[in-house]
């Protein structure tokens, strides 16, 4: 799991993105961190192994220019600096797109051989994947030469290929998510559409809120600053574009799966599952998601992460949630990552 945030408006994006990431990093991230902004026809980005503090200490992430941007922090899953987000799409060495995603191949794991062939095909067409490393796990795209690339890197190039064929950024993302689906959600910056953030979502959560100066996006509305308006959840199996004052949403034409509905009855089951656990104290996001998964009916793809976030948000609004951040071993020797431990007040 990972955490994502985005901003598009009339204020400098980087400080707002950093603030939102700090509010959620200990839920699912802190091991690899990166940020990207778009300004005057150029995409700027910085990423590394480590948490948000290391990114700020090591690189000028807070100084990236522009009023539109995305940020990402992910779980401990290998790959080093090359596997931190964002992943970029290039033409002739010039960055055209920057992409961040949250999720996993999950329910679609049986299709990995197909996805590996897709990755090989993109490389043969000349698309560059900077995440190429010696294969450590078959959970990612393993190529015929024994190297591996991050699935989000492959997705980034697939989106760029669709844009090269004439699709707008949102349509390109929707088509890519149907061609190589996973239990994922993603955000994209594109030089071709410098006034908006494109998104695509199959199942992992993404919240949206508008302030007077622009739009906020985040994995959970708990990350939004105080001036954010009432949050909404972007719908499953859809793509679209968020600008400073509006959102356009298009359902996928060919849904790759069935996603569990998060209705009132399901939320009640999740609440009844999580409250006793939180009363025990010291529960991580992973602890809560694993427990919530068992409350969903047997459908193709579950949305346990989204349900947990909504329960936690409601408890925090009621003043009933305690969150304590503690350092845990990071993704490399000498590094730590923040981990949120939660309990009922």
Q: What is the pLDDT of residue 291?
A: 98
**What is residue 196's three-state secondary structure?**
coil
CA–CA gap between residue 217 and residue 228 (Å, rounded): 10
Confidence of residue 72 (pLDDT cuts 50, 70, 90): very high
* Token pair of 302 as six digits: 């579950």
Pick the CATH number of 264-344 from 3.30.465.10, 1.10.10.410, 1.10.10.10, 3.40.50.300: 1.10.10.10
Architecture of domain 2-251: 4-Layer Sandwich (3.60)
User: What are the pLDDT digits (tens) for 174-233?
Assistant: 999 999 999 999 999 999 999 999 999 999 999 999 999 999 999 999 999 999 999 999
CA–CA gap between residue 5 and residue 16 (Å, rounded): 9
Residue showing tokens 């849904």 = 255
Q: What is the pLDDT of residue 71?
A: 98
Q: Is 135 or 12 the better-scoring residue by pLDDT? A: 12
Q: What is the pLDDT of residue 300?
A: 81
Q: What is the pLDDT of residue 16?
A: 98
Which range (137-151, 166-180, 249-263, 328-342) has the least confidence?
137-151
Q: Who's near 296: CB < 8 A, 6+ residues apart?
A: 260, 266, 302, 303, 304
**H or E element that contains 148:** strand 147-149
Do the beta carbons of residue 36 and residue 98 sit within 8 Å?
yes
Q: What is the pLDDT of residue 27?
A: 98
User: What are the pLDDT digits (tens) for 156-184?
Assistant: 999 999 999 999 999 999 999 999 999 99
Q: Is the pLDDT of residue 137 over 70?
A: no
Domain ranges in the chain are 2-251, 264-344
Phi-psi region of 167 (alpha: psi -120 to 50; beta: other; left: phi over 0): beta
């Amino acid at each position: 799991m990972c955490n994502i945030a985005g901003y598009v408006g009339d204020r400098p994006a980087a400080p707002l993105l950093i603030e939102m990431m700090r509010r959620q990093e200990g839920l699912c991230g802190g091991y690899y961190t990166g940020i990207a902004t778009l300004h005057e026809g150029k995409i700027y980005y910085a990423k590394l192994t480590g948490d948000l503090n290391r990114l700020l200490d090591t690189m000028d992430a807070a100084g990236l220019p522009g009023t539109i941007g995305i940020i990402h922090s992910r779980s401990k899953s290998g790959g080093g600096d090359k596997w931190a987000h964002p992943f970029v799409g290039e033409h002739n060495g010039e960055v055209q797109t920057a992409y961040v995603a949250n999720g996993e191949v999950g329910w679609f794991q049986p299709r990995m051989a197909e996805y590996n062939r897709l990755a090989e095909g993109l490389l043969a067409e000349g698309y560059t994947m900077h995440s190429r490393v010696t294969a450590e796990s078959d959970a990612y795209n393993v190529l015929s030469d024994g190297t591996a690339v991050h699935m989000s890197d492959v997705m980034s190039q697939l989106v760029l290929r669709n844009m090269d064929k004439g699709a707008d950024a949102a349509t390109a993302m929707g088509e890519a998510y149907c061609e190589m689906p996973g239990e994922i959600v993603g955000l994209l910056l594109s030089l071709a559409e410098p006034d908006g953030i494109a998104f695509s979502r199959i199942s992992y959560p993404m919240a949206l809120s508008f302030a007077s100066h622009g739009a906020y996006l985040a994995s959970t509305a708990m990350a939004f600053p105080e001036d954010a308006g009432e949050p909404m959840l972007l719908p499953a199996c859809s793509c679209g574009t968020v600008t400073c004052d509006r959102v356009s949403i298009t359902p996928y034409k060919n849904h790759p799966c069935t996603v569990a509905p998060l209705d009132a009855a399901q939320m009640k089951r999740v609440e009844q599952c999580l409250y006793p656990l939180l009363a025990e104290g010291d529960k991580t996001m992973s602890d809560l998601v694993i427990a919530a998964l068992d409350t969903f009916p047997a459908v193709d793809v579950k949305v346990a992460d989204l349900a947990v976030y909504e329960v936690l948000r409601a408890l925090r609004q009621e003043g009933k949630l305690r969150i304590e951040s503690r350092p845990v071993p990071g993704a490399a020797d000498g590094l730590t990552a923040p981990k949120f431990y939660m309990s009922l007040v």
